[in-house]
């Protein structure tokens, strides 16, 4: 086996992996999963019309000075 054959097989493996990944990504069965994933960055934000959450300051330990 020479270098050209190894490079050709490597190219073929990468091509098959690319086509398989493209078919997986654009599969209609995966659309719902990907739509949910696109909303993950907004999961911690309050919805429109909801009250923003009020975060409480950490309580001071007894005997500690307040600034």
Residue ranges of the domains in the chain? 3-40
At 2 the pLDDT is: 93
In this predicted structure, what is the pLDDT of residue 66?
A: 59
Residues 6+ apart with CB under 8 A from 4: none
What is the reported pLDDT for 55? 57
Categorise residue 60: left if φ over 0, alpha if ψ from -120 to 50, beta otherwise. beta
Q: Are 30 and 24 in contact (CB under 8 A)?
A: yes
pTM passes above 0.85: no
Q: 65 or 16: which carries more pLDDT confidence?
A: 16
Q: Rounded distance, CA 38 to CA 8, Å?
A: 37
Q: Tell me the mean pLDDT in the region 8-29.
A: 96
pLDDT tens column, 38-67: 999 888 866 666 665 555 556 666 665 655
Going 40 to 46 to 50 to 54, the CA torsion angle's sign is positive
């Amino acid at each position: 086996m020479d270098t050209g054959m190894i490079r050709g097989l490597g190219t073929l493996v990468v091509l098959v992996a690319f086509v398989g990944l493209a078919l997986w990504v654009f599969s209609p069965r995966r659309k719902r999963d990907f739509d949910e994933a696109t909303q993950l960055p907004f999961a911690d934000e309050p919805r429109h019309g909801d009250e923003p959450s009020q975060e409480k300051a950490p309580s001071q330990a007894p005997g500690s000075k307040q600034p």
